[in-house]
Amino acid sequence: MKKKKKNKKKKTKVMSEAGEVSTLIRCLYLNLNSETELKRYFGARAVQGEQRPRQRNRHFHRCTWMTNLKDSWPRFSRQGISMTLLESKNGVQYFTFEHSRDYQQVQFKFLDAVKSMDPNNIVALLQLNPYHIDSLLQLSDVCRIQEDQEMARDLIERALYSFESAFHPLFSLTSGTCRLDYRRPENRAFYLALYKHMMFLEKRGCPRTALEYCKLILSLDPDSDPLCMLLLIDFLMLRCREYQSLLQLYRDWEDYRNLSQLPNFSFSAALCHFCLSQQEDGDHEERNRHRHKADQLLQNTLIMFPGVLMPLLDLCSVQPDARVTTHTYFGPKSQIGQPPALTELTVLYLRRSCSLWKEAAVMLWLEESVREVLHRVDASDPLVEECQSKRKQRYQSAPRNIHRHVLLSEIKEAVSSLPLEVTSQPLMGFDPLPPPDSIMSYTRPERPHVGASNESTLSLFFRSLLPNFHLQDEPRLEDGEVAQAGRELNQEVNRLMVVMRDMLANIRFQEPPREDNPYRDDEEWD
C-alpha cells in the first residue's frame, strides 16, 4: 500500500521524539493488570480470593506488573536473558534484549528440535529450561490448537514474567519513550508474547487491559509498527468506548500515517462520531455536530471502500433492499475489482469489527448513509471518480508488517487472502515473516543433516502448528499413507499434551526462604 511521501522524513522524526505524539499511546501500570478490570466487573473480594495464599512467597521475587509468579510454575532462575541500553537521543531510549552464551546454546537446541520435527524434543527442552521463551511460545500455540486455552495462556504469562525480570532499570513500560528494534531477533519474542497475551485478554473479556497492551506494543516502535497495531487499536478503543482518544489519534496521526487509507480507521472514525452523537448527557448542539460529521465520514468511506458494504450486511444478517443489491457500485464487481491489499484489509476489518455494527440504531444510520451514497453516485459526484483512481493506484501490495499482523490474527478469511509470495514460504510460529534487514548478534552453527524417522507424520504436525511449513526432500504420500499419517498425528499430539500437562502440573519446588534476592518487594519502577 502506497503512502504519501510528502515531508515523510520530517514527520517520521517527530514521531520518534518524546513529544505529544507519544502521549497518545502511553499506557498505565494499573491497567496492565487484568485483575484491575475484573475487579470493576466482579468486585475486589471475588478477584482477590484466590490471590491470598500465594502472598507468602511474594517477597522472594521481583515485583512485576504484567504478570505474577505462580506457585504452579517451576522455580524461577535467571535464564540468561538481559537488557542493554544501546543509546539515548532526542529524549528516546533504545534498548535491546541479549542472550548469554548458555542461553544461545539452548536456543540452538530449540532450533534443532524444530528442525527434527519431533515435538517431544521441545517438551524435553522445556523441562530442562522451563523459562526458555521460544519453547513457551511454541507450546502455547500447541495448547491453543488443542483448545486448552488455560494452559496456553499460562505459558505466555510465564514468558512475560521471564522478560520482565530481565528489564533494564531504566526501561519503562509506560513512558512511551522506550524503544525495542524488531529487526533484532532477541526482541521479537517479546513483541509476540505481548501480542498473544493481549489476544487472550480480549477473548477473556478484558478489552480495557487488552487496549493497554496494544498501546504498549505500538509504543515500542511507533515508526515501523512491526505488528501493525494500527489495524487493531481502533477496534479496542471502540469496545472500551474511548471515543475522544480514538478521534484524537485519528486527527494527529493522519498527516504522516495516512490513517484514512486504512478501512478500519476510516469506518471507526465515522462510528465514533455517531456514538458520541447518541450520548444523552452531551450538549444538543454538540451531538448534532457529531452526527453531521458521522454522516459525512461514513458516506465518504463507503464511496472509498464500496466492497465493504455487502459483506458487512451479510455478517450482520441484514438483507438490503433491491436498489442496493442491483446497483453496480455496491454489487459483486466492487468486491471482485478490489486490489489484493485492499481485500486483505477489508476482510480483516469485517471479521473483527462486524459486531460493532449490529445495533439497531447503527444499522439504521448505515441504511440512511447508503441511500445518500447511491444518490451521490448517480449524480456523478466528483469524489466517486477520485476514489476509484485512488483504489487503482494504491493497495497494489501491502507492507510486510500488515502480512505479519494478518498471520498473527489467525482470521482464516484474512489469511486466505494473503498473496502467494507470502504463503508459499516457510512460516515459523515463533518468528513469523522476519524482517529482511534483521540485525543478527549471533548465528546458529551449521549442523550435519540427519534424516528423521517418520518424517511425513511429523511434517503434517508442524504444518498444522506452523502455517505452510515445508520440509525439503519430503517423500510424497499415497492416499493410504495419508490416512495412516493422520492417525499417527493424532496419537503424537495426544502424547504431547499428556507430557505437557504432567510437566506443568506436577513440578513443585519447596525451598527455604532465600535472602540473596537483590530485588526488594517495595522496589519502585518508572
In a domain, 295, yes or no: yes
* 299: in domain: yes
Distance CA 272, CA 232 (A): 15
Q: What 3-state DSSP class applies to 186?
A: helix
**Is residue 237 a part of any domain in this protein?**
yes
Predicted local confidence at residue 163, as pLDDT: 95
Distance of CA 463 to the CA centre of its chain: 21
- Grid cell at residue 395: 493497495
pLDDT score of 424: 82
Going by C-alpha positions, the residue among 162, 149, 134, 146 that lies closest to residue 74 is: 162
According to the model, what pLDDT value does residue 409 have?
A: 93
Q: Which grid cell sits at 370?
A: 447508503
Residues 486 and 458: beta-carbon distance below 8 Å: no
**Is residue 464 within 8 Å of residue 145, measured between CB atoms?**
yes
Q: Which residues lie across from 97 on neighbouring strands? A: 83
Q: Which three cell numbers stand for residue 112?
A: 534443532
Residues in CB range of 33: below 8 A, 6 or more apart:
65, 66, 209
Q: Are strands 92-99 and 81-89 parallel, antiparallel or unpaired?
A: antiparallel
pTM listed for this prediction: 0.81
Q: SS3 letters for 359-394?
A: CHHHHHHHHHHHHHHHHHHHCCCHHHHHHHHHHHHC
* pLDDT for 110: 92
Residue 165: enclosing H or E segment and its boundaries?
none
Instruction: Please indicate, yes or no, if residue 348 is contained in any of the structural domains.
Output: yes
Among residues 260, 194, 264, 197, which one has the least CA distance to residue 227?
194
User: For the range 96-104, what are the long-range contacts, defined as Cβ-Cβ under 8 Å and sequence gap of 24 or more?
Assistant: 96/180, 96/181, 96/184, 96/186, 96/187, 97/163, 97/166, 97/180, 97/184, 97/186, 97/187, 97/190, 98/186, 98/441, 99/186, 99/441, 99/442, 103/79, 103/132, 104/80, 104/442
Assigned domain for 168 exists: no
Size (the chain), residues: 526
Is residue 357 a part of any domain in this protein?
A: yes
Reported as type and span, the H/E element at residue 83 is strand 81-89
Element (H, E) at 304: helix 284-304
Q: What's the number of domains the chain is made of?
A: 1
Supply the angle between the helices 149-164 and 185-203 in degrees, to the nearest 10.
140
pLDDT at position 48 is 61
The reply to whether 217 falls in a domain is no
The type of residue at 195 is Y
Q: What is the pLDDT of residue 428?
A: 83
Those residues whose C-beta lies under 8 Å from the C-beta of residue 278, and which sit 6 or more positions away, are 287, 361
- Identify the CA nearest to 337 among candidates 260, 382, 392: 392
Side-chain-facing half-sphere of 153: CA atoms under 13 Å = 17
Q: What is the model's pLDDT at position 490?
A: 54
CB 38 within 8 A of CB 71: no
What residue type is 36 in one-letter code? T
Query: Would you give the DSSP letter of residue 356?
Result: G
Supply the Cα-derived Rg of the chain in whole angstroms: 25
Helix (H), strand (E), coil (C) string for 272-292: HHHHHHCCCCCCHHHHHHHHH
In a domain, 394, yes or no: yes
Please tell me the distance from the alpha carbon of residue 274 to that of residue 291, in angstroms, as a whole number: 6
Closest by alpha carbon to 80, among 105, 60, 108? 105
- Is the torsion defined by CA of 286, 353, 237, 296 positive or negative? negative
User: Is the distance from CB of 135 to CB of 126 less than 8 angstroms?
Assistant: yes
Q: What is the DSSP string of 220-278?
A: HSTTT-TT-GGGTHHHHHHHTT-HHHHHHHHHHHHHHH-GGGSHHHHHHHHHHHHHHHT
**442: closest CA among 117, 96, 108?**
108
Nearest to 397, CA basis, from 345, 336, 333, 347: 345
User: Which sign, positive or negative, has the C-alpha torsion 21, 23, 25, 26?
Assistant: positive
Domain enclosing residue 248, as ranges: 228-398
Task: Enter the C-alpha cell of residue 437.
Answer: 534487514
Mean pLDDT of each 10-residue bin along the chain, 526 residues long: 46 42 74 77 61 46 78 86 95 95 94 82 90 93 88 94 94 92 96 96 92 95 95 96 94 90 96 93 88 97 96 94 91 84 94 95 96 95 94 90 94 90 83 93 73 46 48 46 52 57 52 44 39
